[in-house]
Structures are given as C-alpha cells and as structure tokens.
Amino acid sequence: MLARESASLTEAVTVSSTPVACDGDVASDLGHPRVFLDIPQGGSAVCPYCSREFVLAEGASSGQGH
C-alpha cells in the first residue's frame, strides 16, 4: 500500500452543480478571468488558470434536471 501523499497544493472544491464558474482566488493574487468548467459525473475538473480542482458533490445535478 502506498503511503498517503500530501503532494496536492490546492484543496479540491466540492460544488453542487456543473458547470462551475471560477475566477480565481480573489483573496490572493490568483485572480483570473472567469471561466466555466464542465465537471463530468463522478469526475473532477481542474481550472487551467489557477489549477484549482473542482469535484461534483454526490447526488449533484448535472444541469439536465428541471
């Protein structure tokens, strides 16, 4: 078994719907133009600007519901 790694520099952000808008971390210098990231069901998406990872919460709608 592999030891638990702590290589991840950014915490994954759990969201309840997709696509998710990311415009960076306004509290730091990582702000960037707003982008929309489509998260596959059961998967995750990484923002190309700030490398933040977004994961879809369990049971979240994929935007296709009513």
| Residues contacting Zn ion: total by CB under 5 A | 5
Tokens 């879809």: give the residue: 56
| Token code pair at residue 24 | 């960076």
> Does 22 engage in binding with Zn ion (CB under 5 A)?
yes
> Does 49 engage in binding with Zn ion (CB under 5 A)?
yes
Tokens 């059961």: give the residue: 42
> Does 20 engage in binding with Zn ion (CB under 5 A)?
no
Part in contact with Zn ion (CB under 5 A); list of ranges 5-13, 38-46, 49-57, 58-66: 49-57
Beta strands in the chain (DSSP E): 13-17, 20-22, 35-37, 44-46, 53-61
Residue ranges in contact with Zn ion by CB under 5 A: 22, 24, 47, 49-50
